[in-house]
Chains A and B, each alone.
Chain A
């Protein structure tokens, strides 16, 4: 290791310490009682684990309510479990729709050499390179005019482009690497185009599909701003945590309780990350094709 690597090691160690210490402090603080926190703001909770503030988490389950107003002007209350359900639907459904759409588009562009495929590919590249800013008002107006506002269907259809983005290119590269012999053999055996796609091509890119799905799921689980704008009466857990951090309601104003809600939100996604770390952080590659 040269001098540069020792310097980088020092910087990385400091960075890692700041990250880990902050997360540990957040975890420890979420386990403190209010009285403990007032006198002990920095260190781990006092006393034995039985004396720690485990009730902070039950306060969150019981009082973690978001009140939203729907398009008819009615107040709607969504509790903790409602927000969890919304998060699962938004993240899981959104990730699946987005990735499936990209997979289909990339397959058609890479495998069918119509001129339209080439046009689409050029359009995708241009759309990626050319930035467009400030379209939120236009999108909101369109959503409201065609009845997609505040609906999951609308969000799944509209917010996830099926023709563009980095993951389109990843799928495109994966399909390009699949030999045409798979297709020809299947057609000779009497398979239809649909059967070739769903029973042969999709399983071959399953690892890529799976990895991108995980990445999108995590991204959507943590995203509260899209749900805030386009799904106001379907608040997700991320929005609930944000909402709680800027309001003082129902016993949720103390720092230990707020940090308990952060811990609750982080745990599922950390568990998912630990379980699928290699998939998420590895290089995205396609499934095995051997000739």
Chain B
């Protein structure tokens, strides 16, 4: 491994040196340091500074992004042998995955729950985030307070929120029912019939903060004169939102939709915070399964997990690129 890293460093430095020596051009963009100007000492100093400062970031990227992805790819075609370590296994892991798809409840639930989480996050999370952002952008009553409250789940740890939420639903709610209506009810999280619903509600409930911040930031770049002239023309708030604001923030909206699409495969729905590694199989999401198995598993489990990751990556890449393409092609245009 050490030799590999040293080779990577040597290749990186050599590549940079070759590129610097072979190609030079003066940039027409303002504020850019031209590598052609200055005397030879200055050019040499610039090059030394560039190479020295870039060495660690490039090495970091090559080792902890490129190499890790290659290793993950290779691991997907291996299995762990207690005598020999990781040995080539062909498509064995993938065959196991497709077999588990038909027989294992956790895998079927993971796919269903992940798609369900995406759907409801889209309906409530994305839709309401835009509405909330518009309200805050227009600086209506209480907008600053609402902005802070919407962002609170990103300030306070999700573990803290989960604990408070879980105890409130499992302890306080039954107590309220008992006191007000003299009715014995099971806690909403403890009751297995309603666990999934209330965990899903929690996921959406804490999801607004970053989206609202980003959308309000994008809305703030809309020209004031456009808003004012629309107002003078008698445009109503809903019309302003649909025909002016949403087209103006469409690029930001597309970015979040792409992130949301990737979230199908990575979102844990806070299950690890709620249940640790002991969530019921029917609650699983893909993201929860991948993390919980990596935490709880060992060398034997890694090849299978890597194969799952590779398969999901092969699905996620075209899905996100298609989503981005369709949203950009058929979305509103600003003129």
Contact = CB atoms under 8 A, between A and B. Distances in A.
Interface of A: 1-5, 8-9, 11-13, 15-16, 18-20, 22-23, 25-26, 29, 41-42, 101, 104-105, 108, 110-116, 120, 123, 127, 129-142, 145-146, 157-159, 161-164, 176-180, 183, 187, 192-194, 197, 218-219, 221-222, 224-225, 228-229, 238, 241-242, 245-246, 255, 258-259, 262, 265-266, 269-270, 273, 277, 281, 283
A135 B69 contact: yes
Nearest to A284: B217
Given A4-B131, A142-B68, A269 B156 contact: yes
Interface stretch (B101-109, B143-151, B189-197, B326-334): B143-151
Contacts of A2: 236-238
B295 A228 contact: yes
Interface in B298-332: 299, 301-303, 305-306, 308-310, 312-313, 316-317, 320-321, 324
A163 B290 contact: no
B168 A25 contact: yes
B132 interface: yes
B60 A157 contact: yes
A133 B290 contact: yes
Contacts, number: 289
A126 to B, nearest CB: 11
Contacts of B308: 134
B196 to A, nearest CB: 19
B265 interface: yes
B164 A22 contact: yes
B250 interface: no
Interface string B86-111: 00000000000000000000000000
A242 B271 CA distance: 12
Contacts of A277: 148
Contact of A218 (B35, B60, B155, B168): B155
7 contacts: A9-B141, A23-B152, A101-B57, A116-B15, A116-B16, A129-B324, A133-B266
B273 A242 contact: yes
Contact of A16 (B1, B149, B305): B149
Contacts of A140: 294, 302
B45 A193 contact: yes
Contact of A265 (B42, B142, B157, B237): B157
B232 interface: no
A134 B65 contact: no
Interface in B146-197: 146-152, 154-165, 167-168, 171-172, 175-176, 179
Interface in B68-86: 68-69, 71-72, 75
A270 B145 contact: no
Given A19-B149, A176-B31, A281-B148, 8 more contacts: A5-B237, A9-B140, A113-B25, A145-B1, A157-B64, A158-B64, A161-B65, A197-B53
Contact of A142 (B38, B71, B161, B262): B71
B50 interface: yes
Contacts of B49: 192-194, 197
A8 B266 contact: no
Nearest to A232: B295
A246 B166 CA distance: 12
A100 to B, nearest CB: 10
A113 B46 contact: no
A41 B132 CA distance: 33
A26 B169 CA distance: 12
A208 B272 CA distance: 33
Given A161-B60, A162-B56, A229 B157 contact: no
Interface string B242-271: 000000000000000010001001100000
Contact of A163 (B61, B262, B309): B61
Interface string B18-56: 011001111101111111001000100110111001101
B5 interface: yes
A57 B176 CA distance: 27
Nearest to A187: B42
B47 to A, nearest CB: 8
Nearest to A11: B128
Given A1-B237, A101-B56, A157-B60, A137 B302 contact: yes
A114 B238 contact: no
B241 interface: yes
Contacts of A273: 155
A133 B158 contact: no
A197 B258 CA distance: 35
A138 B224 CA distance: 50
Query: Considering residues B26, B147, B275, B306, which has the most beta carbons from chain A within 10 angstroms of its beta carbon?
Result: B306
B142 A224 contact: no
Contacts of B294: 136-137, 140, 229
A225 to B, nearest CB: 7
A179 B163 contact: no
B163 A42 contact: no
Nearest to B321: A129
